[in-house]
Each structure stands twice: as structure tokens, then as C-alpha cells.
Amino acid sequence: MAELWFGALALMLTGFVVFGGGDLGVGALSLFLAKTDGERRAAIAAIGPFWHGNEVWLIASGGTLFFAFPTLLATAFPAFYLALFFVLWALVLRGISLEVRSHVEEPLWRAFWDVVFALSSGLLALLFGVALGNVVRGVPIRQGRHFTLALFTNFTPVGEVGLIDYYTLSVGLLALVALLAHGAAFLAYRCEGALRERARRAERRLWLAGALLFVVVSVETAAVRPELFGALATRPLAWLGSLVAVAGVALGIRAHRREQDGWVFLGGAALLAGVLAATAVALYPVLLRSTLTPEASLSAESTLSSPYGLRVAVVWWPVALLLALGYFAFMFRKHAGKIQAEPPP
């Protein structure tokens, strides 16, 4: 049962990265790739039908964590209190900027909210990457004691760590660059004209930068959590995740050369999903590692909820997942056409 719900939680988070990550990347890039107000409107229109639905994956992840691993939630919520406030403020400002930018016909007003939209989107991508870095690195858990992480301590990934050190910041930067590239691919898939061409150029450069950062983070991970690479080598599901990631890279390169924007986006989605899946398999069964004493680490088995609640959830959770997947399939089919930027007045 622990394996099942660990996989369900990983699936929800992967869904958010694959679908919502494109939105975050488009938002962060819109200030730089869209040169006119018409192009910014086109960028917003590209994600408009999807961005509310994409956040459902994040809410579903929190719900799965709540009913499947309540002890983990009780420990992680106060620990990441500061980070959660950053995330909430970024989500609020991002939503407000999209809703109010067109309420006033004034260039300065729109420019201000365009900056807010881009910065909040980029900050969210960075924060989610830092959160992943904290999960891989671990937090200073002590037996029977709740705690709150400081923003940073001595900037090293051992002992009394904070939210940010050189490792978690590296993972955050990798996540930011990867989601920017994913967003550029989505923008190229959804838009036409000069905006599409700029997005294609940015996508290629960002994926190259992401490949370099991936090497750096892999070397750092080997120093911070060397046992993860041993787990990758011995678990067939991790091989499958790695194979999906490699296939995504090959598909993306081939499709980019043929200017098949939809397949490029799918290749990036496969790359992100494969890397996250392999990481999740390598991490299991530890959900939250202690950087102080290994005995205090929280595992999937030790934090699992009561059997009755999980049996009930097994019935409705697949139904909810199928509804969500059906919704996204319908939305992508309905909005399959390209968006042309409005000409400048």
C-alpha cells in the first residue's frame, strides 16, 4: 500500500510539472520573447485555457499527501512555513496580474503587471526546484520535534541546513531553466509568426543550458546523496524512467529539426516526466531524509495513513485521475489551433 500511494503522489507532482511547468515557463518568458502588447496577449492566450486546470495537479498533490501521508504533512508544513508563504504570494500575484492587466487601457499599468506576471512565474519555478532539492538533500529532523527551516544557515547541505544552500539553489536553477525551455516549446506549439520563431530559438539555447546544469547537479547529488545512484542502478523502474527521459531527448531533437512543435513539446514532457520518475524511484522509501540522524528520517511506511481511509481512497482516486486526464485531453484537442499575435496599432 505504501508503494501505491507513494507512486500516486509522485504521479500528481509529475503532472503538475509537465502541464503546469509549461505555464510557468511561458509566464517567465513572456516579458522577454513577446515584444509588443499584441504578442503578450498571444502568450497569455496560449496558456489561458489551461492554467486554472494545471493548478489542480498541485492541489491534488496536497490532497494525496493529506490523506495518504498525514505524519509527513504535519512535519513538512511547519518546516517549510517560510517557503510556503513565498509560494502563496507568488501564486496570488501571478493570478492577479493575469486578471487585472487589461482592466485599464494604460501602457504603464499593463507593463507593471507584465513584470509581476513574469517575475512571479519565474519565482515559482525556482521555488519548486528548491523544494525538490530539499527533498533530495534532506532537512534537520529530530525525533519527536517540530521545526522551521531558516532561509539559509552556513550554505552547506549538511547538518543544520536551511532552505537554501549551494545544492538546493543549483537544483532550483536547473528547474527554472528546464521549465523555461518547456514553456518556450509550449509557446512555439501554440503561437505563430515572429513569437514562435523567438520561442524556438530560446528553447534550443535553454535546453543546452539545462543539459550543462544537469551535469553539475548530478555531480553535486553524488556528493550529497551518493546512495541514490546505487538505487538507480538496481531498480528496473528507475531504468524505465531514465529510458523515457532519453527517448524524450531524442524525440525533441528530431522534432525540432523538422519544426514539429507539438512533438517537441511532448519530447520535453517525456524528459521531465522520466527524470522525475527515476528520481522518485531512487528516493523510495524515504520521503524526507534527516540531515542530522538517519533514524529520524520519515519513510513511506512510517507515515502511511490508516488502512480504512486508504481503502476508501483507492476507489475514488482513479476516477478523479481519469476525469482530470480526460479534461486535459479535451482541452488540448479543443485548443489545438495556432494563435496569431495581434498587429500593433
Q: Which residues of the chain have pLDDT under 50?
A: none
Which contiguous run of DSSP H or E holds residue 299? strand 298-299
Please list the residues that pair with 139 across neighbouring strands: 290
Predicted local distance difference test score (pLDDT) of residue 314? 83
All cell numbers assigned to 264? 517537441
| 135-171 pLDDT tens trace | 999 999 887 667 788 889 889 999 889 999 999 999 9
Which contiguous run of DSSP H or E holds residue 296? none
How far apart (Å, rounded) are the C-alpha atoms in residues 9 and 4?
9
All cell numbers assigned to 26? 511561458
All cell numbers assigned to 327? 479534461
Half-sphere exposure of 44 (CA within 13 A, CB side): 21
Predicted local distance difference test score (pLDDT) of residue 217? 97
Predicted local distance difference test score (pLDDT) of residue 54? 80
Predicted local distance difference test score (pLDDT) of residue 318? 87
Which contiguous run of DSSP H or E holds residue 39? helix 37-47
> How many residues comprise the chain?
345
Predicted local distance difference test score (pLDDT) of residue 183? 95
Predicted local distance difference test score (pLDDT) of residue 265? 94
How far apart (Å, rounded) are the C-alpha atoms in residues 240 and 249?
14
Predicted local distance difference test score (pLDDT) of residue 301? 87
- pTM score of the predicted model: 0.93
**305 — alpha (psi -120 to 50), left (phi > 0) or beta?**
beta
Predicted local distance difference test score (pLDDT) of residue 173? 97
Nearest to 190, CA basis, from 329, 49, 324: 49
Predicted local distance difference test score (pLDDT) of residue 345? 52
Q: What are phi and psi of 65, to 5 degrees?
A: -65, -40
Nearest to 172, CA basis, from 109, 224, 125, 240: 125
